[in-house]
Structure 1
Amino acid sequence: MNHNAWRNARVMYENDACAQTLGIDILEMDEGYAVVTMTVLPQMLNGHQTCHGGQIFSLADTAFAYACNSQGIAAVASACTIDFLRPGKVGDKLTATARVKHQGTIAGVYDIEIINQHQKTVALFRGKSHRIGGRVTGEA
């Protein structure tokens, strides 16, 4: 367990109104790695009564954000793609696991897999990050 990665995630989470509103919880943190979870609620359903893709994207994007900021250097997304493979249903517990594939001085690439409580893959997300300078914690 990397204490700095956890500290960076806690600092970000305190200001992450989106993650808090969606009920996203951080389960694991390490450098270049994050696991977050979210339960699909009725207000997250689309017109087909499945989890809205934007909600799934937000879960993946949150895992991505915490993983690419885990080293304490502030980073944002420069590009993201997602493939939806199966629907999320109300009551499903979705887990997004983000893993660094490459992290350079400025740019990084992260893969995120979203699974349900049955260990079935719901979506695959790839995020490209760009370090913007400064520290996640605000410290010099």
Structure 2
Amino acid sequence: MTEKDVRDRESPLSFARQVADAMYKKDVAAQNMGIKLTKVRPGYAVMTMLVTEQMLNGHAICHGGYIFALADTAFAFACNTANITTVTLTNNITFLTPAGEGDLLTAVAEVQNQAGRTGLCDVVITNQEGTRIAMVRGNSYRLRSKIVEDMPSADL
């Protein structure tokens, strides 16, 4: 592999990381819930969240709203890697297994299709044992703005 091949291969990863870092700096909600970005590449993001006592509902399990927030955040980061402001049109969540206090939840979001201004993204949430907690399928919509104004936009 030539040096140019290495640069070309790393460029989309670096681009996606720069966009994600800019988004995360402004994402006060994610930061306050302890959601962390652990991996990003074009059309793909992995985020984690530790379930705390404050996230438990009346059944002593993680409130679905927190699980959905984790999924929606991973969705956003995956959909915005092209530096084109992208928002959620719809998201449908299916809860499969309860999460409890101390569980480390991981959301893996991957853009499945991007056609013009609309896209489709899937998110799978698992716990530290790899058990599926929830699955989300969502539609996205691209606006006419950038996340980072001094960077170009790319297409997935």
TM tier, smaller: over 0.9
1:50 has 2:87 as partner: no
Which residue of 67, 85, 94 corresponds with 2:78?
67
Which residue of 1, 21, 43 corresponds with 1:10?
21
Which residue of 102, 120, 127 corresponds with 2:113?
102
Structure 1: 5+ residue stretches without partners: none
Distance between the aligned counterparts of 1:106 and 1:89, measured in 2? 38
SS at match of 1:65: helix
Which residue of 17, 24, 37 corresponds with 2:48?
37
> Which residue of 1 is the match for residue 141 of structure 2?
130
Which residue of 9, 19, 23 corresponds with 2:30?
19
Distance between the aligned counterparts of 1:79 and 1:42, measured in 2? 29
Q: Return the letter of the residue paired with 2:49.
A: M
**Offset, 1:139:** 2.8
**Percent identical residues:** 44
SS at match of 1:57: helix
- For 1:108-123, list aligned pairs within 5 A: 108-123=119-134
Q: Larger Cα Rg: Structure 1 or Structure 2?
A: 2
- State the Cα deviation string for residues 25-48 of structure 1 (Å, max 9, x = none): 111100100000000000000000
Q: CA RMSD in A?
A: 0.9
Residues paired across the two proteins, number: 140
Structure 2: 5+ residue stretches without partners: 1-9, 152-156
**Offset, 1:91:** 0.2
Distance between the aligned counterparts of 1:94 and 1:133, measured in 2? 33
**TM-score, with structure 2 as normaliser:** 0.88
**TM-score, with structure 1 as normaliser:** 0.97
Q: Return the letter of the residue paired with 2:18.
A: R
SS at match of 2:38: strand
Distance between the aligned counterparts of 1:22 and 1:138, measured in 2? 27
**Offset, 1:120:** 0.3
